[in-house]
Amino acid sequence: MRFEGSMVAIVTPMRDGAVDLRALKELTAWHLAEGTEGIVPCGTTGEGATLTAAERAEVVKAVLEVAKGKAAVIAGAGSNSTREAIAGVQAAKELGADGALVVTPYYNKPTQEGLYRHYLAIHEAARFPVVAYNVPSRTSVDLLPDTVARLVAAGAICGIKEATASMDRQVQLVERCGKDAIAYLSGDDFTAVPFLACGGHGVISVVANIIPRQFASMLAAARAGRFEEAFAAQVRMAALNRAMFVETSPGPVKAAVALMGKCGPELRLPLAPVSEKSLAAVREAMVQYGVPLA
The residues annotated as belonging to the active site are 133, 161
Contact between 84 and 118 (Cβ < 8 Å): no
Q: How far is CA 159 from the centre of its chain?
A: 13
d(CA 30, CA 65): 14
Q: Is 288 helix (H, G, I), strand (E, B) or coil?
A: helix
Q: Which 3 state secondary structure label does DSSP give 292?
A: coil
147 is in an annotated binding site: no
Q: Classify 63 as helix, strand or coil.
A: helix
- In contact, 122 and 158? CB cutoff 8 Å: no
Give CA–CA dist 35/30, Å, rounded.
9
Tell me if residue 77 falls in helix, strand or coil: coil
Residue 204 labeled ligand binder: yes
Cα separation, 182 vs 159, in Å, equals 5
- The binding site for pyruvate consists of 45, 204
